[in-house]
DNA sequence: GAGTGGTCTAGACCACTTT
DNA sequence: AAGTGGTCTAGACCACTCC
């Protein structure tokens, strides 16, 4: 079976989400309706919806319905911001400064990002965690996918909410590469630490629901009181 | 429905694995047999087996059968050793030195590990990656669960294979906390770097198939040529 | 009470692996 | 050819939410 029926159901739903026909937070047709629309049995539609739930694309609630995953500041924080108190408690990052610039993409950005863009928009910010300046962050997105985002400044703390609500890009997955580096003079200044203090450098490539690499992000974290937490399985 | 039928199927299979009745790599009864044994329909047994596969407890192969997940050196490396070349390629860690000691548990170990053990066994090792001394590792396990492991030295590079094959503990999940720290004098010596070089410190708590915390591990990595890679979703 | 997802059944057929 | 998991169907009943 080259193309299972449930896959066509999945493709249909994803296409409707990507096209904007189904909005984040919006309700999908019921299992029965969806099955009838596409011409499969209710069990097959059900299987597709369960797989979509497993991929984080929809959320199902007994007695209520099936809804397109909405990237809220909370869920965004929980899933994609892995810095935690040493006991695992969530920290609320606040913005100290923000600079948004439109510029030519460098080689790496053009190679990694979807569409091999010539122009990108860079969002550079410094964050404070628990009142301590703790993170320097630079997010780079293709200018064509996110045109005009530079005019939305100041941007909210959770960028992925903007990507979704203003540009229809639902970030579902990210790959990160983590190393320890000494703070440069400028970095030390911004983070209020001694030069050469060990920092976590996290480089991230974020992918949306269509599997497109839509953001390249580079973060530097102080880890004197906080830690990067992750679960492996 | 307080206790779905498929959950009793799952519990039955997990119990058989934990008891040693089903060995890692061994084949489970077919969907039909399992359903008949437990007295449910084949579809229900199927759902349970699919959930077990999703949790990584079994592996299913069309036309062959369903098998208990075996922790091979390769899968162990792939899942639980996240240090990679900068391009994502897997590195093969080699052991340089090993010290295994049996000692009293400290407060943290007694609190975190399953059973609140009084005695633990500590396995301290230094690893070389691509010929460069790159990791200092200390694994601490409860002495009662792993009695005699100190007499198995030298232990293989992938400890989780020993945990499984000799002690029936299948590690499925681990939680890690990652920070950047300066190398102490001794650490710098062992890793052949300058004192105060930034290192990644990774603290891990590993859980087995029954959800027991069976290992506390502390690793220090050089990240001048390698990086810790992780996927978020 | 109507509508939703969650569980469970019984059976059919397909695709793959092994003998 | 026999046995396995993979897909698909049709229908039943339950648990929950909302009106």
Closest by CA to A196, choosing from A175, A181, A174, is A181
Position B47 in a domain: yes
Backbone angles phi, psi at B70, to 5 degrees: -105, 130
Residues B60 and B145 in one domain: no
C3 nearest neighbour residue (CA to C1'): A63
Residues A100 and A213 in one domain: yes
Position B135 in a domain: yes
| Contact flag B232-A79 (C-beta cutoff 8 Å) | yes
Structure tokens at B75: 């899968």
Find the domain containing B17 and state its range.
5-68
Residues A33 and A129 in one domain: no
3-class secondary-structure state, position A129: strand
Least confident span in A170-184, B64-78, B175-189, B202-216: B64-78
User: What pLDDT does residue A53 have?
Assistant: 93
Q: Domain boundary at A68, A88, A121, which?
A: A68
Residues B39 and B79 in one domain: no
First to last CA, chain B: 30
Mean per-residue pLDDT, B101-105: 96
User: What pLDDT does residue B1 have?
Assistant: 62
Q: Domain boundary at A68, A94, A112, which?
A: A68
Name the nt closest to B44 by C-alpha to C1'.
C8
- Mean pLDDT of the residues in chain A: 93
The CATH number linked to A16 is 1.10.10.10
State yes or no: cis peptide before A64, omega within 30 of 0: no
Position A148 in a domain: yes
| Contact flag A230-B230 (C-beta cutoff 8 Å) | yes
User: What pLDDT does residue A133 have?
Assistant: 94
Query: CA–CA separation, B182 vs A180, rounded Å?
Result: 9
Residues A83 and A153 in one domain: yes
Q: Domain boundary at A68, A85, A119, which?
A: A68
Residues B87 and B131 in one domain: yes
pLDDT digits 0-9 by tens, B72-83: 888 888 889 999
Residues A104 and A211 in one domain: yes
Structure tokens at B17: 């694995």
Query: CA–CA separation, B233 vs A140, rounded Å?
Result: 20
pLDDT digits 0-9 by tens, A60-92: 999 999 999 888 888 888 889 999 998 889 998
Considering only CA atoms, give the Rg of chain A: 20
> What CA–CA distances, in Å, run from B102 to B71, B77, B105, B169?
25, 26, 9, 19
Query: CA–CA separation, B184 vs A160, rounded Å?
Result: 39
Position B233 in a domain: no
Residues B159 and B217 in one domain: yes
Mean per-residue pLDDT, B174-185: 96
pTM of the model: 0.92
User: What pLDDT does residue A1 have?
Assistant: 62
- Residue A18: which pLDDT band, with cuts at 50, 70 and 90? confident
Q: How many domains does chain B divide into?
A: 2
Residues A96 and A145 in one domain: yes
Residues B160 and B64 in one domain: no
pLDDT digits 0-9 by tens, A144-201: 999 999 999 899 999 999 999 899 899 999 999 999 999 999 999 999 999 999 999 9
Position A233 in a domain: no
Mean per-residue pLDDT, B163-188: 94
User: What pLDDT does residue B101 have?
Assistant: 95
Contact, B39 vs B60, CB < 8 A?
no
Q: Does position B219 have pLDDT exceeding 80, yes or no?
A: yes
CA of B31 to C1' of D11 (A): 22
On whether any CB of chain A is under 8 Å from the CB of B80, the answer is yes
Mean per-residue pLDDT, B148-159: 91
Query: CA–CA separation, A100 vs A154, rounded Å?
Result: 9
| Contact flag B230-A176 (C-beta cutoff 8 Å) | yes
In this complex, which of B79, B181, B231 lies closest to A198 when CB atoms are compared?
Answer: B181
Structure tokens at A208: 């949306």
Query: CA–CA separation, B153 vs B137, rounded Å?
Result: 16
Residue given tokens 């924080």 in the structure block: A77
Query: CA–CA separation, A49 vs A26, rounded Å?
Result: 14
- Residue A2: which pLDDT band, with cuts at 50, 70 and 90? low
Residues A61 and A28 in one domain: yes
Residues B9 and B123 in one domain: no
The CATH number linked to B97 is 3.40.1410.10
CA of B72 to C1' of C13 (A): 36
C14 nearest neighbour residue (CA to C1'): A1
On whether any CB of chain B is under 8 Å from the CB of A155, the answer is no
């Amino acid at each position: 079976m080259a193309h299972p029926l449930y896959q066509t159901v999945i493709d249909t739903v994803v296409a409707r989400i990507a096209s904007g026909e189904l909005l984040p937070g919006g309700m999908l047709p019921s299992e029965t309706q969806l099955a009838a629309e596409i011409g499969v049995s209710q069990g097959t539609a059900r299987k597709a919806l369960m797989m979509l739930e497993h991929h984080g694309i929809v959320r199902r609630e007994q007695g209520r319905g099936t809804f397109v995953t909405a990237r809220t500041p909370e869920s965004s924080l929980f899933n994609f911001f892995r810095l935690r108190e040493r006991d695992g408690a969530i920290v609320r990052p606040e913005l100290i400064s923000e600079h948004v610039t439109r510029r030519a993409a460098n080689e790496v950005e053009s190679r990694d990002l979807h569409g091999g863009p010539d122009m990108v928009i860079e969002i550079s910010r410094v964050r404070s965690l628990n009142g301590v300046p703790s993170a320097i962050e630079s997010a780079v997105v293709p200018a064509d996918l996110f045109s005009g985002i530079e005019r939305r400044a100041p941007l909210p703390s959770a960028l992925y909410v903007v990507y979704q609500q203003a540009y229809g890009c639902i970030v579902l997955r990210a790959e990160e590469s983590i190393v320890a580096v000494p703070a440069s003079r400028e970095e030390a200044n911004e983070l209020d630490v001694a030069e050469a203090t060990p920092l976590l450098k996290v480089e991230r490539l974020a992918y949306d629901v269509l599997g497109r690499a839509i953001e390249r992000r580079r973060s530097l974290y102080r880890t004197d009181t906080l830690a990067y937490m992750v679960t492996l399985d």
